[in-house]
A and B are shown apart, each in its own frame.
Chain A
Amino acid sequence: MRFDDPPAILLAALLSLGCGSASGADIYVIAGPDVKLSVEDVRELYLGDKEFSGEVRLVPVDNQAALSEFVVKALGMNPQRYNILWVKKAFRDALNPPAVKAGDFEVLEFVKRTRGAVGYVSSVPRDKEINVIGKF
């Protein structure tokens, strides 16, 4: 270990101090007021095993900007496996995979105006019409 290399020490220290945030931002699963879901339901919904919340047909939507983070944290798989799973689901069970939105804004807009919509975003929504179902 060299102590005469302050830039390296500075970099190491900054990275070390920043470890907490480097582990990845939180993902918030959101839905409109007509959707009643538990955190446990989120996995079933995004794996195609849950289609309804009471009488309301659920419309899950993916967020391209946060998809990798969400799939790893909430579903415990990588994005490739997630995609393959939906290909098989579509062929076998005639389920259509979630639509893909570009980012948080598009997901929020979709959830606000679509009955039964469920999405996920990378920050807590401030809109009172939107409920946070869970954090991953």
Chain B
Amino acid sequence: MSFNNRFPLRQLIFVGLTATIASAVPGVSFGQSDAERIRELERKLDRSLKTIEDLSNRLKDVETRTPVRSESAPPSPAQEHEHERRIPEIGSETSSLPTLLKGFADVGANFVGNGGNKGFFDGSVDFYLTPQLSSNIKTVIELVFEHDSTGVLSPDLERLQVGYTFTNATTVWLGRFHTPFGYWNTAFHHGQQLQTSVLRPQMIDFEDHGGVIPAHTVGVWGTGAVRAGTGRLTYDLYAGNSPSIHGNELDPNNAGKTQPGYSAGFNLGYLFGGSADLLKIGVHGYRAVVRDDSLALNVTRANIFGGYAALDSAAWEVIAEYYALRNEDLSGGTGSHASWTGFAQMGRRLERWTPYVRLERAALSQADNYFAQLATGRAYSRQASGLRYDLTPNSALKMELNHTVSEATPKAVFNQLLTQWAIRF
């Protein structure tokens, strides 16, 4: 439509519109002078142009955040993710839900200065299923394949849980689960693509990777959350087989054990605002009778108590965990030994980039048989910094540089440059 070629129409529209706008402006009447009306109109038009500008900015914002849903266009990363969450019609019976195979994998290259393996490597492949068997019964089956330090491929039944949900606030699981201490162990575990960094904090690493806090428990676990104020109070109560120390590493005793001794623990947390993307703080405790396979056949009661805080927002990731240990020697009569360990990690999310830093420290008493018998039970400190880049919502490139001082004998000081490409499917 050309307004220039239809001047009378243009005038009519202009006059009509002016009258409409003018009459819509509060306080403007036809009794006002022309100058006042024009000023009022100018103000109105200024506001209108500002509104257009705001709308334009909002439209741009929406266009950049919202996936294009064209049938013919190739799927955007967000669409691909939508596809991941799409499941067929499920009917009225939840037992007919199809079970999707999901998982994680990672590859990369490491350059380490401590005499360990270096060069390119294939990391782990983690498959997991979460079938909902009925309205109340659900399961978790997680299987991990990874090479050990000698290159042998070893499968690991990471989680095997069967659970019954009694209410919105109570689910009871039976089987092998991620020990619910702190935040990291249950939030990320083998989900390398989920965690920002390349390495886990050493003290809570997997048992066969040198962790000194039992990362898995075989037993029974009650978990849930209830509203409390504006947030949610979360709880975990669990009991299971005591771990043992075999071959200088922790063994969760997946197939049961021949000697007495059980473990028990709790985790109480508060989630501010009730949303998983806000701050969570909590306390945790753990107690177990741990036997080792040394000549002395030491028996230690491990007592762990600590706290944690985690912020997982769109802009920040902050995780801090603290563990105080007061282990008692039940077989040698050397009494109680105090140790502590903890870490703090902070990451800043800048669109696809996430630079991060982490500090780890462990002061572990060597008079404590528990640590003396573990290959990695030496005091250490580590400073790590890294950069993560999210190629797509389900694929991340990471690079991490760390410096470690280990109070082993002899003392070890080394640096590591680690790279990783972690995916989720």
Considering only CB atoms, which chain B residue lies closest to A67 in the complex?
B82
Within the assembled complex, what's the spacing in Å between the Cα atoms of A85 and B275?
A: 10
CB distance from A71 to the nearest CB of B (A): 10
Cβ–Cβ contact A50 & B85, under 8 A: no
State the B residues within 8 Å of A (CB). 3, 10, 13-14, 17, 20-21, 42, 44-49, 51-52, 55, 62, 65-67, 69, 78, 81-82, 85-92, 94, 97, 100, 102, 128, 130, 132, 135-136, 138-140, 161, 163, 165, 167-168, 186-187, 189, 191, 194, 225, 232, 274-277, 314, 393, 424
Cβ–Cβ contact A83 & B314, under 8 A: no
Within the assembled complex, what's the spacing in Å between the Cα atoms of A51 and B170?
A: 10
Cβ–Cβ contact B130 & A95, under 8 A: yes
Within 8 A of B (CB), among A56-93: 57, 59, 62, 64-65, 67-68, 76-81, 83-92
Which residues of A sit under 8 angstroms from B128, Cβ to Cβ?
Answer: 91
Cβ–Cβ contact A87 & B14, under 8 A: no
Interface presence of A52 (CB below 8 A): yes
Cβ–Cβ contact A81 & B314, under 8 A: yes
Considering only CB atoms, which chain A residue lies closest to B94 in the complex?
A57
CB distance from B320 to the nearest CB of A (A): 19
Given A9-B14, A16-B51, A80-B393: A110 touches B86 (CB 8 Å cut-off):
no
Which residues of B sit under 8 angstroms from A52, Cβ to Cβ?
Answer: 165, 167-168
Interface presence of A113 (CB below 8 A): yes
Considering only CB atoms, which chain A residue lies closest to B276 in the complex?
A85
Which of A96-104, A118-126, A128-136 is found at the contact surface with chain B?
A: A96-104
Which residues of A sit under 8 angstroms from B55, Cβ to Cβ?
Answer: 15, 19, 22
Which residues of A sit under 8 angstroms from B13, Cβ to Cβ?
Answer: 6, 10
Which residues of A sit under 8 angstroms from B46, Cβ to Cβ?
Answer: 1
Cβ–Cβ contact A44 & B3, under 8 A: no
Within the assembled complex, what's the spacing in Å between the Cα atoms of A91 and B45?
A: 53
Within the assembled complex, what's the spacing in Å between the Cα atoms of A50 and B48?
A: 44
Interface presence of A43 (CB below 8 A): yes
Cβ–Cβ contact A9 & B89, under 8 A: no
Which residues of A sit under 8 angstroms from B62, Cβ to Cβ?
Answer: 68
Which residues of A sit under 8 angstroms from B139, Cβ to Cβ?
Answer: 94
Considering only CB atoms, which chain A residue lies closest to B103 in the complex?
A91
- Residues of A within 8 A of B (CB-CB), count: 53
Interface presence of A12 (CB below 8 A): yes
Cβ–Cβ contact B89 & A110, under 8 A: yes
Cβ–Cβ contact B87 & A99, under 8 A: yes
Partner of B92, one of A43, A77, A113: A113
CB distance from B394 to the nearest CB of A (A): 8
Considering only CB atoms, which chain B residue lies closest to A44 in the complex?
B274
Given A57-B136, A99-B87: A13 touches B20 (CB 8 Å cut-off):
yes
CB distance from B83 to the nearest CB of A (A): 8
Cβ–Cβ contact A6 & B10, under 8 A: yes
Within the assembled complex, what's the spacing in Å between the Cα atoms of A29 and B81?
A: 23
CB distance from B413 to the nearest CB of A (A): 36
Cβ–Cβ contact A92 & B48, under 8 A: no
Interface presence of A115 (CB below 8 A): yes
Which residues of B sit under 8 angstroms from A84, Cβ to Cβ?
Answer: 393
State the A residues within 8 Å of B (CB). 1, 6-7, 9-13, 15-16, 19, 22, 43-44, 47, 49-52, 57, 59, 62, 64-65, 67-68, 76-81, 83-92, 94-100, 110, 113-115
CB distance from B163 to the nearest CB of A (A): 7
Partner of B194, one of A16, A19, A88: A88
Cβ–Cβ contact B20 & A92, under 8 A: no
Which residues of B sit under 8 angstroms from A99, Cβ to Cβ?
Answer: 85-90
Within the assembled complex, what's the spacing in Å between the Cα atoms of A89 and B97?
A: 18
Within the assembled complex, what's the spacing in Å between the Cα atoms of A26 and B14?
A: 33
Which residues of B sit under 8 angstroms from A9, Cβ to Cβ?
Answer: 14, 17, 45
Given A59-B94, A79-B66, A83-B85: A90 touches B277 (CB 8 Å cut-off):
no
Partner of A98, one of B42, B78, B85: B85
Cβ–Cβ contact B90 & A114, under 8 A: yes
Cβ–Cβ contact A86 & B225, under 8 A: no
Cβ–Cβ contact A43 & B130, under 8 A: no
CB distance from B228 to the nearest CB of A (A): 12
Within the assembled complex, what's the spacing in Å between the Cα atoms of A60 and B102?
A: 20
Considering only CB atoms, which chain B residue lies closest to A5 in the complex?
B3
Cβ–Cβ contact A91 & B191, under 8 A: yes
Given A78-B65, A79-B78, A98-B85: A12 touches B52 (CB 8 Å cut-off):
yes
CB distance from A101 to the nearest CB of B (A): 9
Within the assembled complex, what's the spacing in Å between the Cα atoms of A7 and B73?
A: 34
Considering only CB atoms, which chain B residue lies closest to A22 in the complex?
B55
Which residues of A sit under 8 angstroms from B187, Cβ to Cβ?
Answer: 88, 92
Given A68-B66, A96-B97, 16 extra CB contacts under 8 A: A9-B14, A9-B17, A13-B20, A49-B225, A59-B90, A62-B85, A68-B62, A81-B277, A83-B78, A83-B81, A83-B82, A85-B276, A85-B277, A86-B85, A110-B89, A115-B92
Within the assembled complex, what's the spacing in Å between the Cα atoms of A43 and B167?
A: 17
